[in-house]
Structure 1
Amino acid sequence: MNFKNLLLTSVLMAATSVGFAQKNLKEDKQAIKDMCGCFEVTFKYTETFSPEIDYEKHYDYTATALEWAELIKDEKDEISIQHLLVLNDTMVIKHWRQDWLYENTKRYDFNHDNQWTFVNMNKKDVKGQWTQNVYQVDDSPRYSGSATWIHADGRHYWNNTTSSPLPRREYSKRSDYNVMMRGNQVEITKEGWLHEQDNEKVIREDGKEDVLLVQEKGYNIYKKVDDEQCKAGKDWWASNKGLWSKVRTKWSDVYGRDKNLALEEKVKGQALFMQLFPMDIETKQAKIDSTVEEYVKNK
């Protein structure tokens, strides 16, 4: 092959590669945004295996909810979705948030006992990947992981395993483990989307290997329904989004310090959400800043 042909082949290969990457990126974004809308959600969990023969498995957990997922940011390399619970068609509770960052290199990995380790990843290791950052109801960190969206055989899914605090259904009821290793698979379905989990409930101590208490299988099944069923959630967010934009601004400042993070569970007997939830749109940024800062241990 002469030099001209070699050069032409290289150019064609590069163009094909760019086109493929752009197609994948478009599919990635669409898959993430398919998690927006109004959903009937079914939560199902069952403990499966424990290495200790005398371990008594806890009862299966099943619950249902109506949830509105609002697209609050849609930029080139970042998509953010706020989830809201809608109760009895009228009552709304701010729920979790998920941010998706493309080829992101910075995240916070949960350690244990309200501590997160700052992780600076290599650019080569996150090429083509999306980081999913999941936040608590008060926009404090929950868990984070990076992986590639897969689009093959008519399926669209994302897989990752990462450490997280105890789930809300157990954190106030159990003290026999302190970390959940979440095996997360997010998959877009014809009916909506599925969050399938292969979890390990572990006991973690500094300087020691994790001890497995029990494994767990979980399914969060999101079935798309008419958006009108979540009208209360849409209206609530329209009225309250300004407040939570200020809260996110403060947390962005905290996360931007790029160092390990430790948080107080309670201040003056109250969890952070108990102080933030009563606030309204008129609350000053300075008040929000000082409230959040009270819970940050390592200033």
Structure 2
Amino acid sequence: MQVPMKTKFFIFGVCLMAVLWRDTFDPESVRCARVLVTGASTGIGEQVAYHYAKMGAQIVITARREYALQKVAANCTSLGAQKALYVTGDMSQASDPERVVKMAVELLGGLDILVLNHIGSTPFAMWNGDGDHVRELMQLNFLSYVNMASAALPVLEQSAGSMIVVSSLLGKITTPFVGPYAATKFAVNGFFGSMQHELAMQRSNVSLTVTTLGLIDTDSAMDKIRGYTNMTAYPASDAALHLIKAGATHQKESFYPGYIYFVCLCRDWFPFFRDIIIQNSYTY
């Protein structure tokens, strides 16, 4: 019996996706790895630190609140981290990103993995015309990433290391109530996407992964969207494990949950209906 051509293409597509998305991650690949995780006092960053700890990595975590970092570092030690240290840092200060990287390198004797995850606080509301807030958030969510990447790259070159940049679906598709935040994530995607090309052209041995996350059930995210939308939120622990795997397997770009890859793929196909769906997904 002759198999229709459409069926052949469908089967080929399914097989291709199965190959591309197969799980090849080996936890042993990050055992003893020297890791710096930013924004690690809570949320996704905290969960990233815990996963690395369970895998036997050496970890330095950073955020602003020392008491929260102390608690997370203690938990990492109990979970099996070979080292669990912390450095306080305020990424709104221009000098802190480079200082934190240098201190982490000194504490660990080098660096194998840099996870850029921190974000600044911003209201979930229509933009009120506050340009200063946009500027401050750009420093926190974007410029500090650039500064940390600049400080870490020479060290990562020495170790053939990896950089994992945590981005958002809101850096791919615009929605209401997130103008300043979305602007920073579009900037992150643009800058680090360009850096990926440049590293490849220079034949660098540094792996750079940009991970695009959907709505994650962190306390801060849930507090902000409550009453505005009923969109499904996904577990922070699963998101954290996803980005660790993506970095360890040297993926250039990854998506969690997986369906948002297709959302991004179809973003510009039907813009009128896309915008209607987005606007009707929120209450104002």
TM-score (norm 2): 0.26
Question: Which has more strand, going by share of residues?
Answer: 1
Question: Which has more helix, going by share of residues?
Answer: 2
